[in-house]
Amino acid sequence: MLPWLSAFPRSWPLATPFRISRGVRTTAEVVEVHIRDGRCIGRGESTPYARYGETVASVIAQIDAPARIQMDALDHAQLQQLLPAGAARNAVDSALWDLESQRRGVPVATLLGQTGLPCLPTAQTIGLDTAERMAEAARGQAHLDLLKIKVGADDPARLIQAVRDAAPQARLMVDPNESWTLELLQAMQPVLAATRVELVEQPLPAGEDEQLRGFRSVTLLCADESCHVAEDLPRLQGLYDVVNIKLDKTGGLTGALTLLDAARAQGFEIMVGCMGCSSLAIAPALHVGRHARFVDLDGPLWLRDDHPGGVRLVGGLLQPPAPTLWGGGRRTDVDTAKPASIACAQPLKAAPAPLSI
């Protein structure tokens, strides 16, 4: 019997609304993929992102067309040719890794020649809000090692200072989500130095990166929207110090590992990030996170509910998920895995754009 593939939408309500410079989100809208081969079922998840012209419906349509025809020979290498980098390829690639792990009876870490996944200190995100509310959120997380502050172009200095005052010992990153100009970035340099910010993520709109050439920042500058795949790296040389690797941009773990190797070889520091998602999407990203200087994988921590056995934050460290969730080498019974996944599937209709954590 040939392997069977299913792609369907799923909606995960957030515990609290999440705001960035592009708007407010109350759910994480994702696509889940199952690839069944006998009694093994590989699962993957991706978050379509309107910023890149993706919707839940368009991603499912991308997956359905080539994968249904090629399932008898589908592997990671063939998938790179069938689908472009993006959310559709990520979901299928992740499911293939999970399926291979089950078929061989070994964890993905073993397939990659690595030891078991370590616990990782992940950033916790302070969503864009009033200075008072952001300070309140920071106080509740002041014990953590790393906080990421979402800001826009409207008085970011006040917001950053409020978080720093509320969390005096935490390491800080700032993410304007492309909302700054070069003039604002220049004006923010004294504030960034005084508040001891370590990294600013994608301050300028992607496509305007060249303005950064010759600019000396007091913080590390990280490319997010400007860096999707390894081929993007040469034009980012001399502009950014760090690249943010997200599986929804690279098209899965396979592409993420290629970008990781190329980025390190070209002298970039590594950040690993995520969109709004469940632990099913974070599980493969942990295999990149173990090599990253900055880990930002708190997507599932924003959810009201998550998969059983999902990642947990304990003592400021992100605990890997249970081996049965993804990539642990444990065979998943189709009868138990599929109903649990489809139960939360939502009709294909207009949905809010996903949040970028």
> What sign for the dihedral angle of Cα 73, 78, 84, 87?
positive
Give the residues across from 19 on adjacent strands. 24
The first and second tokens of residue 302, run together, are 């924003």
- The DSSP output letter for 177 is T
Instruction: List the catalytic residue out of 148, 150, 338, 349.
Output: 150
Write phi, then psi, for 270 (nearest 5 degrees): -115, 135
In whole angstroms, give the CA distance from residue 231 to residue 244.
14
Closest residue by Cα to residue 95 from 56, 124, 63: 63
Cβ–Cβ under 8 Å, residues 174 and 199 = yes
Active-site residue (options: 246, 249, 338, 349): 246
Known catalytic residue: 249?
Answer: no
Cα gap 339→280, rounded to integer Å: 16
- Token representation of residue 97: 């890794």
- Amino acid, res. 9: P
| Helix runs in the chain, H state only | 56-70, 76-82, 87-104, 108-111, 131-139, 156-166, 182-187, 189-194, 233-236, 247-250, 253-265, 279-289, 334-342
Q: What are the DSSP calls for 302-339, one per residue?
A: GBSS--TT--EEETTEEEPPPTTTTTSSPPPPHHHHHH
- Residue whose pair of structure tokens reads 């499912």 in the numeric block: 60
- Interatomic CA distance for residues 108 and 115, integer angstroms: 10
The dihedral through the CA atoms of 146, 151, 156, 161 has a sign that is negative
Q: 216 exposed, middle or buried (CB, 10 Å; 0-12, 13-18, 19+)?
A: exposed
Is-catalytic flag, 349?
A: no
Query: Which residues are part of the catalytic machinery?
Result: 150, 246
